[in-house]
Structure 1
Amino acid sequence: MNVLIDGSVLEGGGQILRNSVSLAALLGKHLTIEKIRNGRKPPGLKNQHRTGIELAAEIASARVTGATNGSCEIDFVPGRIAGGTYAADPVTAGAATLLLQISLPLLLFAPSSAPSTLTLKGGTNATSAPQIDYIQHVFLPFAARHFGLNVAVDVRKRGYFPKGGGEVHVTVSPGVDGAKLTSASVLERGAVTRIGGIAHIAGLPAHLGRTMAESATKRLAACGFGPDASVPVPVEIESKREKNEDTVGAGSGIVLWAELAGGGMIGGSAVGRKGADAITVGEEAANELIKGLEAGGAVDEWLEDQVVILMALAEGTSEIRCGKDGLTLHTKTAIWVAEQLTDAKFDITVEDSGHTVIRCKGIGYTAPGDVNK
């Protein structure tokens, strides 16, 4: 059956492309996407989108037409998914994390007990995608705890805009014997138990990284998050200057994360840029974390949309408490895509407290050919 996806719906960006291709590959569905990135200027595929499609096609032995830069329509006919060793490089500062986003679901269900490996190049820390440190310290720990993922990330080289050139090695352990993703229930936020972080810098003086970390720590303390607060919270923000041989070009950034007693995670981040000093960048990351905490959810707005595909694939009913600001457009888009391509059933409710709860009866996906399917 050919599934037609309108790439101009809701968020209208690359997320529709990535989630649609991943789900179509897993479910063996012939996929056509039209009006790709219709909400962007210019529309159509860029290097990183094309590279992501090519990576997914290699993993899923797919036939693809239309995967050229500027194309607004592709046709994707998946074959059999195979684990193994794969590499992808957009040859730009295109985000390595977005290459992981399209390929990770496939390798989670590769019909093999041996781990698969990905070598992903490009940008590791940019403003247009999750920083690699967010994936390492927020998304993956949450997904491991609640959905059963076993994924390790090793940042070999950092790549900053505009040169890119970063390199990330990812090891993905599939579910042995067709194991399904477990459903997640994260309805209680609980207290903040710890705040961690990393201020990273390359090709610039090391003191700038320390300044970012100190600035973020000071801002968090002013809002009641610190060891001397009325309710003490450990705050541990590492400052790390990369070796010159471990980066291409110069750049900086900071990623913070708050661990919650109820099993939730809230992140905040900022990337260094021209015209913003280290104090400002540190404060921006802290303000983003504080905003996420004040929203009162068990996940932040970025984690909220990234776990939708896992909820759809998991066995049983997952339920996630989100903040009081309502679902983001990215989250609504992820849910829409999942409903177009799977039989997962989503239910969105607003509690009396004002928090939004996403519930999803997942499809309990296992790889084709598994005896338990």
Structure 2
Amino acid sequence: MIEINGNEGEGGGQIVRSSLALAAVTGQPVRLTNIRGGRQKPGLLRQHLAGVRAIQAVCSGDVDGDQLGSNELTLVPGKLSGGDHRFEVGSAGSAILVAQTILPVLLHADAPSTIEIGGGTHAAWAPPFDFFLRCYLPLLARMNANVEADIESHGFYPAGGGRVVLKVTPSTGIKGLTLTDRVGKLQPRVTALVSKIPTSVGERECDLIARKTGWDKKAFQVLDVPQAGGPGNVVMIELGFDNVRELIIGFGKIGVKAEQVARATLREARAHLASDAPVGVFLADQLLLPMGLAARNGHRSEFRTGPLSPHCQTHIEVLRRFLDVNIQSVTGENGSVDVSVEAGDGCIGSA
């Protein structure tokens, strides 16, 4: 049984999610202790517990310690099964993080799956649905993963109430991916979402970004979300290239002017464009697990990103515990980091 100390590295929920997914896919039992030990409120929260129970359902696993606030958890995985499942976070906790937890398992299951997840879809501490749909899933498709995603209801913080639906076809083998340069010209797109608040908020966000960038008016849109669990506002700057997209996201807050939200979001977008790294800090973290599974199949992957976050560094250590992979990172003079993921010396490629 693999022992994982949840207090290592950045000590957050990523350790739980990745450990469970990797345990299920590789068939290795895992025991987690000091869960989320690096957080002010340690232990399993609702979104983590939803991920645990989702993993249990799709891998027919035996689980011990699946309670709110639990600091220890054991999973003994069984058969990976497709089918229809419905999971509820029960709060504004991220439905997308639950989806990312079980997605590697469903890609290795014995049949297609349709998954419905209720919870938050747009919150500052997790990848929003749009990032998942427009940035992450297209890259998974290039790695031989067939995943469709739709949103039935938006869930903004703090109300939640969102709902997403995934349709997953088991993969014939996850393949490698190379993202070391941006290809083609910038294709910007700016979208402001508003729910149960005046559309003028989104219009002001778009107007400021349009004035500051001079981008074509066709690149801007304000969407009044028809189905949502509560009020909310998000402005998203999509920096699209032929081979990769990055989504920079600003979250509206009570007492913060729309122009302030837009200005801060644009500042972050410009910083990303100023670097030569095609992969942003959050996308880098999310690509590591499928790249590790591709390495398990004998396929090499590499990408260029900015300085690795503590989150990302911790994720690398978790991958090394479950997979015989060689993960290298080399920092350039300009601060960019080249990351490669390939099979270790004892790994025999299956594809």
Q: Tell whether the structures are fold-level matches, with TM greater than 0.5.
A: yes
Alignment of 1:209-228 (within 5 A): 209-221=202-214, 226-227=215-216
Give the C-alpha shift of residue 267 in structure 1. Answer: 2.1
Cross-structure match for 1:241: 224
Structure 1 letter corresponding to 2:279: V
Match of 1:72, SS state, is coil
Q: C-alpha separation between the residues in 2 aligned to 1:5 and 1:343?
A: 16
TM-score (norm 2): 0.93
Counterpart of 1:368 in structure 2 is: none
Q: Please state if 1:64 is matched with 2:45.
A: no
User: Is the 2:134–2:245 Cα contact (8 Å) retained in structure 1?
Assistant: no
Residue 198 of structure 2 corresponds to residue 205 of structure 1? yes
Give 1:142 shift. Answer: 2.6
Quickly say closer, same or farther: Cα 1:238–1:148, change in 2 above 3 A. Answer: farther
Q: Aligned match of 2:293 in 308, 313, 318?
A: 313
Shift of 1:207: 2.1
SS in 2 for 1:248: coil
Paired position in structure 2 for 1:355: 336
**Is the partner of 2:341 in helix, strand or coil?**
strand
> How far did residue 215 of structure 1 move?
2.3
In 1, are the aligned partners of 2:291 and 2:301 still within 8 Å (CA)? yes
**Match of 1:296, as an amino acid?**
D
Deviations 1:131-160 (A, max 9, x none): 111111111123223x12221211111111
Deviation at 1:107, TM superposition (A): 0.8
Which residue number in structure 1 is paired with residue 347 of structure 2?
A: none
Match of 2:157 among 135, 154, 161: 161
For residue 47 of structure 1, report the CA deviation from its aligned partner.
0.8
CA contact (8 A) 1:22 1:102 kept: yes
What stretches of structure 1 move > 3 A for 4+ residues in a row?
Answer: 351-354
| 1:38-88 CA-partner distances (Å, limit 9, x unpaired) | 011111011111111000110000010111111111011100010111111
| SS of 1:181 mapped into structure 2 | coil
Q: Give the distance between the partners of 1:169 and 1:306, measured in 2 at CA.
A: 20
Q: 1:143 is matched with which residue?
A: 140
- Per mean C-alpha deviation after superposition, the further-off stretch among 77-86 and 263-272 is 263-272
Report the counterpart of residue 344 of structure 1 in structure 2: 325
> What is the identity, as a one-letter code, of the residue corresponding to 2:105?
L
1:235 & 1:11 partners in 2: Cα distance? 41
Once the two structures are aligned, what percentage of the paired residues are identical?
29
**1:353 shift after superposition:** 4.7
Q: Distance in 1 between matches of 2:211 and 2:321?
A: 46
Deviation at 1:171, TM superposition (A): 1.3
2-structure distance, mates of 1:235, 1:143: 28
Q: Which amino acid aligns with 1:70?
A: G
- Determine if contact 1:311/1:362 at 8 Å carries over to the other structure: no
Counterpart residue identity of residue 157, structure 1:
S
Gapped regions of structure 1 (runs ≥ 5): 228-233, 364-371
* 3-state SS of 1:100 partner: helix
Deviation of the 1:191 alpha carbon: 5.0
On the 8 A contact 1:158/1:247 being kept in 2, the answer is yes
CA contact (8 A) 2:135 2:244 kept: no
1:282 and 2:282 are equivalent in the alignment:
no
CA distance in 2, matches of 1:215, 1:110: 47
Amino acid at match of 1:5: I
Cα distance, 1:188–1:51 mapped onto 2, change above 3 Å: same
With over 3 angstroms needed to count, the CA separation of the structure-2 counterparts of 1:80 and 1:355, relative to structure 1, is same
Q: 1:366: which partner in 2?
A: none
Which runs of 5 or more structure 2 residues have no equivalent in the other structure? Answer: 345-349
Q: Which amino acid aligns with 1:241?
A: D
Check the 8 A contact 1:269/1:284 in 2, yes or no: no
Separation in structure 2 between the aligned mates of residue 192 and residue 14 of structure 1, nearest angstrom? 36
Partner of 1:253 in structure 2? 234
2:7 aligned residue: 8
Give the Å deviation of 1:190: 4.1
- Say whether the 8 Å CA contact 1:50–1:69 is kept in structure 2: yes
Superposition CA RMSD, Å: 1.7
Deviation sequence 1:270-299 (CA, Å, 0-9, x none):
111111122222222222222222232011
SS at structure 1 position matched to 2:186: strand
